[in-house]
Structure 1
Amino acid sequence: MLTSTSALILLVITLPIVIWAALSDLKRMKIPNKAVLALAAVWPLIGWYLVPFDAWLWGFALMAIVLVIGYLAYVTGTFGAGDAKYAAAMAGIFTGADYGLVMLLVAGCLIGALVTHRIMRAIPAIRRLTPDWESWTQRRYFPLGFALSGILVFYLLAQIWPQV
């Protein structure tokens, strides 16, 4: 598990990347490979400093497992390829996490992102500010990068928040 300080460091480093990925997914329904690579580089470059060495190594295994699961979901049409890569890129950060908390965050962020997206889509002022966003008119797919970004941010915030 991450310490509060480690989570804060990761949040500061990853926040610009996840905002970029989420906005790109909302606008073009694509997560840029540069954003995926930037996020994937955080764990090898910074993770070793923030967690014990064995946890750092397990982070790479977790990234590989999530990539395989994401690829299988992509093949079945359940997940986009960019979403699979993006999820794998962030997976190392969840090494040693309480997986009950992670599953709760996944469910909450998926529902929250869907509801937020639908509400924003229904507000004319927002639509006028973002008329070229593909996610507003896309009926078959949802910008999952928006939800995935939320999962990482809220997980890191939960690690920073004082434990009771």
Structure 2
Amino acid sequence: MDISSLSALILAIPAIPLSLYTCWSDLRGMRIPNGTVLMLAGAFVLLGPFVLPFDIYLWRLLQLAVVLVLGILFNAAGVMGAGDAKFIAAAAPYIALGDLRFLAALFTATVLAAFVTHRLAKHTPLRRLAPEWESWTRRRDFPMGLALGGTLSLYLLLGIAFGG
């Protein structure tokens, strides 16, 4: 296993469960808890220096800061929710800058799959599995945390499998 796959594996250990919790929390209550986002960012801060060269680690931390500022601006403009903006910022250091084109394609596919799956479940008997979920009872919004958490999880799993 090379360093990229090993890095993805080590970073995935905390990131995937936190991402899946983000999916569940956004489906259930249409919110992404601050604690989850802080743990996701904190896991990178703590593990990053051990699995990445230090210069790359510092660049990835800069990505977090830049994406957080952009997320705050997008949230203020009404483009995205605050939880989505915070999750994207916390996930940013897990992504290699050179993978942005691939990430955009992965995110697009994940959003489409998540949206279709969510809407199908909402309008079928599957809804009875969790009838109280806010994402299909009281709100028309789509729980973007489902797609965001799914994208980060898939990205890390692909990094483990095919890291270069």
Q: Give the TM-score, by structure 1 length.
A: 0.92
What amino acid is the match of 1:14? Answer: A
In the alignment, structure 1 residue 121 sits paired with structure 2 residue 122: yes
2:111 aligned residue? 110
RMSD between superposed Cα atoms in Å: 1.6
**Which structure is higher in RCO with an 8 Å CA cutoff and minimum separation 6?**
2
- 1:15 shift after superposition: 1.6
- 1:107 shift after superposition: 1.1
State the distance in 2 between where 1:109 and 1:97 align.
19
In the alignment, structure 1 residue 157 sits paired with structure 2 residue 128: no
2:55 aligned residue? 54
Give a deviation string over 1:73-113, Cα, whole Å, max 9, x none: 11121200011011101111113442211111121111121
Checking the alignment, whether the CA contact within 8 Å between 1:56 and 1:95 is kept in structure 2 is no
1:135 aligned residue? 135
Write the mapping of 1:26-105 to structure 2, written as runs, cut at 5 A: 26-105=27-106
Secondary structure at 1:150 match in 2: helix
State the distance in 1 between where 2:36 and 2:21 align.
7
What amino acid is the match of 2:83? Answer: G
User: Runs of 5+ in structure 2 lacking a partner?
Assistant: none
User: Runs of 5+ in structure 1 lacking a partner?
Assistant: none
Secondary structure at 1:91 match in 2: helix
| Stretches of 4+ aligned residues off by more than 3 angstroms | none
State the distance in 2 between where 1:102 and 1:39 align.
18
Give a deviation string over 1:21-42, Cα, whole Å, max 9, x none: 1101000000111101110101
State the distance in 2 between where 1:96 and 1:75 align.
25
Distance verdict in 2 for CA 1:163–1:28, change over 3 Å: closer
1:16 aligned residue? 17
How many residue pairs were aligned? Answer: 161
State the distance in 2 between where 1:83 and 1:109 align.
15
Percent identity of paired positions between Structure 1 and Structure 2: 43
